[in-house]
Amino acid sequence: MQTALFFIFAAICVVSALNLLFQRHPINSALSLVVVMMSLAVIYWTLGAEFLAAAQVIVYSGAIMVLFTFVIMLLNAGEEERTRGSKAAYFAGVPGVVGVLALLVYTFLHERTTLGYATFGGELNNGVSNMAAISRVLFTDLLLPFEVTSILILVAILGAVVLARKEN
């Protein structure tokens, strides 16, 4: 069941990412990015990373995408014009894509045995779930950096609102 969900949502993720690239209106692109983020959350969940799935939904699909949509609407961005693109991007992009795909194929085919510390269903070998282990570390050892990061994000949002405000 989890394998089927993984492949279904991986396909949804790829199709939504392609839709994001080919949309002409920025709001439609942002909504496609929301679908990509939610699909990634389901993929994380099927791989046993429950904390990452929850963080993906709360942080990226929720907060960051609301901020993106707010900025798009604040800038009143309209439909973009189609261009032919840069030839330099094609010359650099095609070898880059081939290199990344070759690296992924190598990783999936040759390094599968070194990733045997976690099962596909989601518990570590010592019986402690990912959620319990990560939350213990996050809320004991890393509590101060976690809270400082949240304050920095709040300051960045307030700064963006002040900079975007129109002068009278």
* Position 93 in a domain: yes
For residue 79, what pLDDT band results from cuts at 50, 70 and 90? low
Check: pTM over 0.85? Answer yes or no. no
* Position 17 in a domain: yes
* Position 70 in a domain: yes
Residue 5 near residue 122, CB atoms below 8 Å? no
Say what the pLDDT of residue 122 is: 47
For residue 17, what pLDDT band results from cuts at 50, 70 and 90? very high
- The candidate with the shortest Cα–Cα distance to 3, out of 39, 47, 53, is 47
Say what the pLDDT of residue 119 is: 43
Q: How many domains does the chain contain in total?
A: 1
Dist CA 13 CA 37 (whole Å): 8
pLDDT, tens only, 44-73: 888 888 888 888 888 888 878 777 777 777
> What's the alpha-carbon Rg for the chain, to the nearest Å?
20
Q: Please state whether 155 falls in left (phi above 0), alpha (psi between -120 and 50) or beta.
A: alpha
**Range of the structural domain that residue 99 is part of:** 2-122
DSSP 125: T
CATH number assigned to the domain comprising residue 113: 1.20.120.1200
